[in-house]
Amino acid sequence: MSHQTLDMCGYNCPMPILKTKQALAKMDTKETIKVTCTDKGSKKDFVAFCNQLGHTLVSQEDDGNKFIFYIEKN
* 13 is known as an active-site residue: yes
Bridge partners of residue 63, in order along the sequence: 66
Rounded to an integer, what distance in angstroms lies between the CA atom of residue 48 and that of residue 28?
A: 21
Residue tagged active-site, from 9, 13, 37, 50 = 13
Sequence letter at residue 18: L
CB-based contact 5:56 (threshold 8 Å): no
- Catalytic residue positions, numbered: 13
